[in-house]
Amino acid sequence: MSQQPIPDIEKIRQLNEANQALKKQQERLELIIQGTNDGIWDWNIETGQFYFSERWLNMLGYQNNDIEQSFHGWLELVHPDDLGRFLLTWTEYMEGITSHFDIEYRLKHQDGYFLWVEGKGVSSINEDGFPYRMAGANSDIHSRKMAEEKLIQTTQTAEDAVNSQKRFLSTMSHELRTPLNAIIGFSEIIKDELEEQEDTVITKDVNRIYRAGTHLLGLVNQVLDIASSDNQNLKILPSAFEIQRLLSDIQEKFTPQVTQNNIHYAFADNLGNAQLDYKRVLMAVINLLDNANKFTHQGDITLNVSKDEHCLYFKVIDTGIGIPTIQLKTIFDPFIQGDSNYNRKYEGSGLGLTISKHYAHLMGGDVSVESTLDQGSTFTLKVPIEWAPPPQQ
Ligand code: ADP
């Protein structure tokens, strides 16, 4: 009688356990793959056999037999513009230059468009150090890529619009300056000649032309400064000067055509010297004084100048219309005016404060404001006594 081999109970138990563990691992793997919603690929490099998971194919609108399941079939779907980059990334990984295959690229969808995916993969290496199997996943990143592209386009459009606006302003300002200089220059000559002839009537009219021309030139220069403020054309030209000379100049230049206000000057003693952009400090202060006069109908305007160890302070105090709290944040923005109605009461471009603040910043200072509606405003220009150039980038 032939004897039946006795089953090795222990071996069977171990085999069962191993099977159970494998099943569990497989389940876990499938769950993870489903959870990531990625398309899986697997390449047996030795046999050349390729596997694309159902999700890999469905992501691109294909069914199992729609495309050739091979590396060649894959390459056929890659966007022509991404093909070079794709192959380079692949080669770099295969040659051990990079530790992972990882690339964002486009694959052709069944519907004809190209879908953005992120492809990742790693390989297994045999004892001789050669890769014998490679596997990885494709994630659908199309929506993110589209949103990024839209953002780039929107930013580019906005930048183009700002640049063309600046170019326009800068060209226009240059074009306007030439004839304006002629108007100012010739009206000055005529004015001098008429004054010699003691013709007071026409002198008055020519004076008007001269003043209007100078006012317009001031505006044009401000627009030009604003237009060039972002493209580094606006350079500070520091020079050493006596602060007292600057104050005399301010008093001489601040001669409003119309004023019913009392103007006071309160300068600290021994102000000494400064090393700053003389013209720009002058313009910043004059802008503040012009505003104080414009927005004060009958009252007092005081220019108070003092200094401490590091800074010079120009305080322009008026008893005018004041500024509503809500407007205090925006009045330094370009072209913003308290009253922006077409029929507004006050002339202006909405650039004076922007310019003054910009100049102050370029010199390492600032302009601040305190104001109470119907009572008046105080604008303070603070500049360091010595301007130090910003560090080179
Ligand atoms: P503009 O004077 O040409 O309107 P600015 O940039 O100089 O432009 O000023 C912006 C706005 O700030 C003004 O339109 C006005 O509403 C307000 N403002 C400036 N200075 C004063 C002031 N001293 N008193 C009241 N409001 C002022």
Domain CATH number, residue 73: 3.30.450.20
What is the CA(291)–ligand 1 centre distance, in A?
6
Q: Under DSSP, is residue 43 helix (H, G, I), strand (E, B) or coil? A: strand
Please give the pLDDT value at position 379.
Answer: 98
Q: From atom 15 of ligand 1, which residue's Cα is the shortest distance away?
A: 338
Whether 269 and 366 map to the same domain: the answer is: yes
Q: Which two tokens stand for residue 97?
A: 């230059």
pLDDT along the chain (393 residues), means of 10: 68 89 84 84 89 92 87 93 95 91 96 96 87 92 94 90 78 81 89 83 85 81 69 74 94 80 93 91 93 93 95 97 92 76 64 88 93 96 82 49
Nearest atom in ligand 1 to the alpha carbon of residue 336 is 10
Query: Does 11 map to a domain?
Result: no
Please give the pLDDT value at position 7.
Answer: 67
Query: Does 189 map to a domain?
Result: yes
Cβ(377) – ligand 1 distance below 6 Å: yes
What is the rounded distance in angstroms from the CA atom of residue 43 to the CA atom of residue 45? 6
Query: Does 223 map to a domain?
Result: yes
What is the rounded distance in angstroms from the CA atom of residue 335 to the CA atom of residue 145? 37
What is the rounded distance in angstroms from the CA atom of residue 286 to the CA atom of residue 66? 77
Q: From atom 12 of ligand 1, which residue's Cα is the shortest distance away?
A: 331
Angle, CA of 327, 336 and 385, to the nearest 5°: 85
**C-beta separation of 365 from 382 below 8 A:** yes
What is the rounded distance in angstroms from the CA atom of residue 356 to the CA atom of residue 279? 12
Nearest atom in ligand 1 to the alpha carbon of residue 353 is 6
Query: Does 40 map to a domain?
Result: yes
Query: Does 389 map to a domain?
Result: no
What is the CA(62)–ligand 1 centre distance, in A?
66
Nearest atom in ligand 1 to the alpha carbon of residue 322 is 25
Q: Quote helix, strand, coil % in the chain, to nearest 5.
A: 45, 20, 30
Residue 328 dihedral angles phi and psi, to the nearest 5°: -60, -30
Whether 87 and 216 map to the same domain: the answer is: no
Cβ(140) – ligand 1 distance below 6 Å: no
Which of 210, 230, 250 is the last residue before a domain boundary? 230
Please give the pLDDT value at position 156.
Answer: 92
Tell me the pairing of strands 300-307 and 262-267: parallel
Rounded CA Rg of the chain: 38
Can you tell me which residue has the tokens 């407007």? 327
Query: Does 27 map to a domain?
Result: no
What is the CA(372)–ligand 1 centre distance, in A?
14
What is the CA(338)–ligand 1 centre distance, in A?
6
Please give the pLDDT value at position 67.
Answer: 87
Query: Does 265 map to a domain?
Result: yes
In order of 4, 9, 158, the CA distances from 14 in angstroms are 22, 9, 69
Whether 244 and 319 map to the same domain: the answer is: yes
* Cα-Cα end-to-end distance for the chain: 98
**C-beta separation of 33 from 134 below 8 A:** no
Please give the pLDDT value at position 393.
Answer: 45
Which of 175, 203, 230 is the last residue before a domain boundary? 230
Query: Does 113 map to a domain?
Result: yes
Whether 136 and 88 map to the same domain: the answer is: yes
Q: For a substitution probing ligand 1, which of 316, 323, 359 has the most ligand atoms within 8 Å of its CB?
A: 323
Q: For a substitution probing ligand 1, which of 295, 358, 374 has the most ligand atoms within 8 Å of its CB?
A: 295
Residue of 25, 27, 31, 54 lying closest to 42 (CA atoms): 54
CATH number of the CATH domain containing 329: 3.30.565.10
Q: From atom 1 of ligand 1, which residue's Cα is the shortest distance away?
A: 350
Q: For a substitution probing ligand 1, which of 347, 353, 374, 379 has the most ligand atoms within 8 Å of its CB?
A: 353
Cβ(290) – ligand 1 distance below 6 Å: no
Nearest atom in ligand 1 to the alpha carbon of residue 287 is 7
What is the rounded distance in angstroms from the CA atom of residue 52 to the CA atom of residue 62? 11
What is the rounded distance in angstroms from the CA atom of residue 169 to the CA atom of residue 184? 21
Q: Which two tokens stand for residue 252?
A: 């001489």
Please give the pLDDT value at position 257.
Answer: 66
Please give the pLDDT value at position 380.
Answer: 98
Q: In terms of residue numbers, what domain contains 115? A: 32-140
Please give the pLDDT value at position 292.
Answer: 95
Whether 275 and 213 map to the same domain: the answer is: no
Give the count of domains, the chain.
3
Whether 206 and 89 map to the same domain: the answer is: no
Q: Give the up-direction half-sphere exposure of residue 208: CA atoms within 13 A in the CB hemisphere.
A: 5
Whether 379 and 273 map to the same domain: the answer is: yes
Continuous segment of H or E residues that includes residue 183: helix 142-196
Angle subtended by helix axes 278-294 and 243-253, to nearest 10: 40
